[in-house]
Structures are given as structure tokens and as C-alpha cells.
């Protein structure tokens, strides 16, 4: 029987650093199998939100529920999500194959040829199979992001969290990453959450978008619903043009 519960529930999440409120009673739900974007400018709280979602820190108030687990920091063993960190976070002294193998050898008892086959399959999935024995320093920035996506997938998660997947990339590489996110949605039917300031990425890949500003959630809706919002803060962010600054 299909599970019709939301994949992620965030309810009245509050995070403060001293007197500074970073996330102010943020609430939203993410349904299974969709791509959900958290869109906002630099320093608005979106990457902080991701840290709390994966259980790196505990909020001062509110509730986070991921796949029925209400305290993400208490996961034991294989986590139920894969994460693409903003920097890619690849180990520079390891080959791409070794980088992908690490989660499997850390969290499972798998070893030898089966690990090799799983790693190769994920590199093939993102079009980088021939580069398995390369070091991260021997490939481009866009390729590193794709390797990081493959590593997030190697544990076969049903949820992938992307932190600024197009940051520091040229426009063409950013398009390739957006295409990879869309391909994975259709090929393996995962739930995806994309945290980004990139408007083109968010509106290009997301089924639903949440706009956050200074720790407050301004709106949640489909791309068309968000574009139609009259809120001046939303419109200013959506239509800001560096040429006129």
C-alpha cells in the first residue's frame, strides 16, 4: 500500500542565535516524489534550514519529521537521505570511485566487487563512468557537482537534499546540473529538496517553491502561484536585475 504521508513535515521551526532570529516559525510540507525548492537570497536562512533538516543541530522550537522520524539527529546507521553539499565536499586525495564507495563501506557491510558495481552504476547514471579513477582535482567544477550527486545516490535514498547545486558554476554547467536533477526525478522517482538563490533553477525544476526572506517563509506554492503573488518582497526578489543596480 502506497504511503500517502508527506515525506517531510516542518512545523513552527524556530532557530535563534542569541538575539538574532534566523528562522521564525517556518512551516511547510513536502509530498513524496516531488521536487521542492527553497528559494531566497544570501543569508536568508535557507542553508541553515537544511542543516536542521539533516539533524546537524537541534532547533529551539518547532518540529521536523522526515519519513516518520521526528528527531533527525537520532538516525542510526544509513541515513534516509542523500545530501549534495554546496562545495561538493569530495575528498581530494581519493578517486571519484573511492569517494562514492566511502558511504557504503562506512554504513554497510558491503565490500569488494559489489561496492565497485554499485559505484560504477551511479557514476554511469550521471554520465561520469569513464572518470571513476580520476581525482577531484582532475575534473571540472560541474563534473564535481555531478559526482557529489552520484555519491548522494549511492545509498539508494528516497530523499535527496541539494544545497546550492549551481553555486560557483558557469551558466552552461548550471543548466547541466538542472537537467541532472530533472532526469533523476523521472528515472528513480525520489523526493528532492533544492535550496538555492538561483531563480532559473528553482522555477525550472520545482513542482512547488517556498520563498524565504530574513528567516520568514513568505509563501509556498506552484511556480505559477509564486510568480502571481503580489507581495512586494517576493516580486522584488523575482525581478531583481543587476543591470539596474
Read off the pLDDT of residues 130-174 as tens digits, 9 standing for 90 and up.
999 999 999 998 899 999 999 999 988 889 999 999 988 888 889
Nearest to 193 by CA among 34, 3, 66, 13: 34
What is the sign of the dihedral through the CA atoms of 168, 172, 173 and 176?
Answer: positive
Separation between Cα atoms, residue 154 and residue 145, nearest integer Å: 14
Nearest to 209 by CA among 190, 188, 191, 224: 224
Domains and CATH numbers, the chain: 1-81+194-245 (3.40.50.300)
Retrieve residue 56's grid coordinates: 546537524
As a whole number, the mean pLDDT across the chain is 88
pTM for the full predicted model: 0.88
Residues 6 or more apart whose Cβ sits within 8 Å of residue 33: 7, 185, 189, 190, 191
Separation between Cα atoms, residue 115 and residue 102, nearest integer Å: 10
Amino acid at each position: 500500500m502506497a504511503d500517502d504521508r508527506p515525506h517531510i513535515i516542518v512545523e513552527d521551526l524556530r532557530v535563534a542565535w542569541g538575539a538574532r532570529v534566523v528562522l521564525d516559525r517556518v512551516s511547510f510540507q513536502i509530498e513524496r516524489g516531488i521536487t521542492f525548492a527553497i528559494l531566497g537570497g544570501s543569508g536568508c536562512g535557507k542553508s541553515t534550514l537544511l542543516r536542521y533538516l539533516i539533524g546537524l543541530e537541534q532547533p529551539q522550537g518547532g518540529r521536523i519529521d522526515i519519513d516518520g522520524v521526528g528527531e533527525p539527529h537520532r538516525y542510526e546507521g544509513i541515513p534516509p537521505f542523500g545530501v549534495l553539499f554546496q562545495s561538493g565536499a569530495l575528498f581530494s586525495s581519493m578517486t571519484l570511485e573511492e569517494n562514492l564507495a566511502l558511504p557504503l563501506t562506512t554504513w554497510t557491510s558491503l565490500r569488494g566487487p559489489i561496492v565497485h558495481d554499485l559505484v560504477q552504476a551511479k557514476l554511469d547514471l550521471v554520465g561520469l563512468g569513464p572518470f571513476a579513477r580520476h581525482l577531484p582535482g582532475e575534473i571540472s567544477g560541474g563534473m564535481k557537482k555531478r559526482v557529489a550527486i552520484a555519491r548522494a545516490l549511492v545509498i539508494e535514498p528516497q530523499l535527496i537534499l541539494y544545497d546550492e547545486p549551481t553555486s560557483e558554476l558557469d551558466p552552461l554547467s548550471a543548466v547541466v546540473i538542472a537537467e541532472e536533477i530533472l532526469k533523476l526525478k523521472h528515472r528513480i522517482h525520489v523526493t528532492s529538496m533544492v535550496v538555492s538563490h538561483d531563480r532559473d533553477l528553482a522555477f525550472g525544476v520545482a513542482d512547488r517553491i517556498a520563498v524565504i526572506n530574513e528567516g520568514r517563509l513568505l509563501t509556498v506554492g506552484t511556480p505559477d502561484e509564486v510568480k502571481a503573488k503580489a507581495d512586494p518582497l517576493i516580486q522584488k526578489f523575482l525581478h531583481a536585475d543587476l543591470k539596474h543596480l
